[in-house]
Amino acid sequence: MTAPVRVGLLGCGRIARLAHLGALSRLRDVNLVALAEADPRRRAEASRRAPAATTLADYRELLDMPDVEAVIVALPPSLHADAAITALERGKHVYLEKPMALNLAEGARVLAAWRRSGLVGMIGFNYRFNHLYEAARERICAGRLGELVIARSVFSTSIRPMPDWEQTRARGGGALLSLGSHHIDLVRFLLSREIRDVSASWRTQRTEHDTAVLQLRLDDGVLVQSFFSLSGVEEDRVEIYGQAGKLTVDRSLSLAVEISPTTQRYARARQLARTLRAARGIPHAIDKIMSPGREPSYRAALAHFAAAVRFGRRATPDFCDGYLSLAVVDAAEQCATTGSWVSLADPLDAGLEMVAASSAAGQGASRRPCGVADA
């Protein structure tokens, strides 16, 4: 039997309360030994939920603790780069919530610190661990949709109270960074292709750039159109059209991945068969209802991180994936400002060279071919 990984949690705000605290306390391979939270009320609440953990007011104090092996960074994005780099320099493995950093310059510094350290660096693109997206990727890789044509996605939330940082881009807010970064990663994960060209526009209503439309051209020409909003209706949906069918995943509502044929022939019979097949998704639905934050992928992503730390394995998605998502957000922001398409050739090639170098060193590999499972 191996000893549990001694973990520190940096930031006990909304997502830590909804997802990380519950998931970490349930994982048998993890021992939550310390937590840091600046807000006294949140700190007291987190301490009640993890009474054995040392409770601190500032994340830097936690990074001074020699017996913390690994940290989960759930701080506002403006602190991600400093927290991750300091943790790596002190020999601690890092699970870093998305977005990796506020901008590409900070992202590159995190990437460099990670590569120097040889430690596990995982980015919080937890939706890769959602059963529905895993199943969707398998089906796409197996060629169930035939040659791909276009993909369409929506990630939108209803109006909810937002922390100050999420209301301005300079502090890490806006729909592209908050929501878009997840779907940009999912496009790479689901379709096993890289993003080449980007076009975007945005709108400010309640908070800065709270709605955005993004268009991507992938390296083989597949087109992707995405809509992100922090001021809309709750929806997280991906539709992928191929010459042999259409795949749909609604992360909140689907019980199973749905593949529709290209024609409406025998539509009713197919609908009935689909309903019966969907019953197989009930275990997923129960898992979802029982999960902290109603999203099982947080727990699965943290379990993957803990296993990578304990057994010295690679964790994916890694900081190269975080950097590539940030490069697309950066290009989208340039487009939204100038109104023209931006080619990602330079940052993408630089990012992919880093991916290749870290794969060769046994560290990261985001561009796995279909069918190659994570270590």
Ligand X SMILES: NC(=O)c1ccc[n+]([C@@H]2O[C@H](COP(=O)([O-])OP(=O)(O)OC[C@H]3O[C@@H](n4cnc5c(N)ncnc54)[C@H](O)[C@@H]3O)[C@@H](O)[C@H]2O)c1
CA-angle at 363, arms to 360 and 366, nearest 5°: 85
Residue number, 75 or 348, with CB nearest to ligand X: 75
The span from the first CA to the last CA of the chain, in angstroms, equals 20
Rule CB under 6 A: say whether 317 interacts with ligand X.
no
Minimum CB separation from ligand X for residue 58, in Å? 4
Residue number, 6 or 42, with CB nearest to ligand X: 42
Do 228 and 179 form a contact (C-beta atoms < 8 A)?
A: yes
x/- contact string, 67-96, with ligand X (CB under 6 A)?
-------xxxx-x-----------------
Minimum CB separation from ligand X for residue 375, in Å? 22
Residue number, 76 or 364, with CB nearest to ligand X: 76
x/- contact string, 160-199, with ligand X (CB under 6 A)?
---x------------------------------------
Strand partners, 133: none
Q: In the set 15, 159, 285, 356, which binds ligand X (CB under 6 A)?
A: 15
Fill in the DSSP letter of residue 2: P
Size of the site for ligand X (CB under 6 A): 23
Residue number, 34 or 365, with CB nearest to ligand X: 34
Residue number, 166 or 197, with CB nearest to ligand X: 166
Which 96-155 residues touch ligand X, going by CB under 6 A? 97-98, 124, 126
Rule CB under 6 A: say whether 291 interacts with ligand X.
no
Which 29-48 residues touch ligand X, going by CB under 6 A? 36-39, 42
Give DSSP secondary structure letters for 151-169.
EEEEEE-------GGGGSG
Tokens (6 digits) for 22:
């519950």
Rule CB under 6 A: say whether 14 interacts with ligand X.
yes
Rounded Cα–Cα distance for residues 64 and 59 (Å): 9
Do 259 and 246 form a contact (C-beta atoms < 8 A)?
A: yes
**Residue 294 backbone class (left: φ over 0; alpha: ψ -120 to 50; beta: rest):** left
Count the Cβ atoms, other than its own, within 10 Å of residue 346.
Answer: 10
Give me the amino acid identity at 58. Answer: D
What does the H/E/C string look like for 23-45? HHHHCCCEEEEEEECCCHHHHHH
Q: What are phi and psi of 123, to 5 degrees?
A: -100, 145
Residue number, 13 or 322, with CB nearest to ligand X: 13
Residue number, 9 or 145, with CB nearest to ligand X: 9
Residues near ligand X (CB under 6 A): 11-16, 36-39, 42, 58-59, 74-77, 79, 97-98, 124, 126, 163
